[in-house]
Amino acid sequence: MADTHGNALPLHRAVIVIGAGTMGGGIAEVAATAGHRVLLRDADADSLARGIARIHAGLDKRVARGKLDAATRDAIVSRIHADDGSAGTADVGLVIEAIVENLDTKVAALTPYAESLPADAILATNTSSLSVTALAARLPHPTRVAGLHFFNPATVLPLVEVVAGPATAPAVVDTLVATARAWKKSPVVCRSTPGFIVNRIARPFYGETLRLLQECAATPATLDAVLRESGGFRMGPCELMDLIGHDVNFAVTCSVYDAFFQDPRYRPSLVQQSLVDAGWLGRKSGRGFFDYREAADAPRP
C-alpha cells in the first residue's frame, strides 16, 4: 500500500520493545518471528513476567492447534529476552515504545534511548493518538522519531500506520515501511494528525455507541449484534472496546478531543469514564461491558 523504496532493518539489528502489555508483547512476538533479537522491557517486573508468559502461552496454543511447529516456537522464544535494562544495546536498530498513552511518560521513557543508542537507531512510538510531531520535538534527535502504530492483536492484524512528523527523515519512513513489510504487515504512511487514519475514522463508531448506551437505548450485546450481523463488522463496538481496554480507548478519545480544541464530535463519554473509574477495563481486567471471569454469570459477548 505504501509506495516507498527503503531497506528493512537488517536481522542482525536488535529491537527494543518498551512496555510488555497488550501491544508490546504482540509487537515483540512479531519482531522475533521475523528473526530479530528482541529486548522486552517494562517499568514493572510483574508486568514483564506476565507479558513473556502471555507470549509463550499464545505460541503454545498455536503449536497445539497445528498452526506452528515446535521448533519455530522455540526459535521465536529464544529470540525474546525479558530485559531489566542490563542487556547490551550496541546492535539495536529500532526501539518501539508501547507504554501508557501519556506524552510526558513517553518522552521520559524514550529520552535515554535517544541519547545512548547507535546514531542510526530509529525511535518509534506505538501511540494511538498522541502527536508524533510533539513527541519528536521533545526528544534529542527528532529526525529519527516516527510512529509505528500496530493494531490489536498485533500478531494477527496486518495493518500498521507509519506516522511521520514534519521532522521525521524520509529515510526513517522508508526503513519502517520496508521493515513492516518484512514483518509480513501491510504498512500505510500518514502524517501526524490527531488519531492518524484509523483512530480518527473509528471515533464516531465508539462515540455514537457510547451515546446510545448513555441514553439506555439498547444493551451492549444488542448493539454488538446489530453491528456484527447487519453492519458486517467482525466485532461489535462494545466487545472491541473491551478488547482494546477502556483506559486506552478513553485516553485516545480524550487526546483526539483536546487535539481538536474540544470539538463536541469527539467528546469523551461519562459511561466510559465510569468503567475506567471502576477498573472495569475490559478483557485485561476480567470485566468491562461484559464479564470475562470464569464463574461470571453476567452476559458474555
Enzyme catalytic residues? 128, 149, 161, 199
Which residue is listed with cell 513492516? Answer: 180
Take residue 114 and report the three cell numbers written for it. 535517544
3-state secondary structure of 194: coil
> What pairs with residue 124 in β-bridges?
96, 146
**Binds ligand NAI by CB under 6 A, chosen from 2, 95, 109, 241:** 109
DSSP 125: E
Interaction residues for ligand NAI, span 79-98 (CB under 6 A): 98
Task: Name which of 105 and 186 has its Cβ closer to ligand NAI.
Answer: 105
H/E stretch holding 203 reads helix 198-214
Interaction residues for ligand NAI, span 38-57 (CB under 6 A): 42-44, 47
Task: Name which of 113 and 151 has its Cβ closer to ligand NAI.
Answer: 151
Check binding of 23 to ligand NAI (CB under 6 A). Answer: yes
**Concatenated DSSP letters of 57-101:** HHHHHHHHTTSS-HHHHHHHHHHEEE--S-S--TTEEEEEE---S
Cβ-closest position to ligand NAI: 21
Task: Name which of 7 and 80 has its Cβ closer to ligand NAI.
Answer: 80
Nearest to 177 by CA among 94, 107, 80, 117: 94
Check binding of 110 to ligand NAI (CB under 6 A). Answer: no
**Binds ligand NAI by CB under 6 A, chosen from 2, 9, 13, 22:** 22
Interaction residues for ligand NAI, span 148-167 (CB under 6 A): 150-152
Interaction residues for ligand NAI, span 115-134 (CB under 6 A): 126-128
**Cα(97)–Cα(229) distance, rounded to whole angstroms?**
36
Binding site for ligand NAI (CB under 6 A): 18-24, 42-44, 47, 98-101, 105, 109, 126-128, 150-152, 244-245, 248, 252
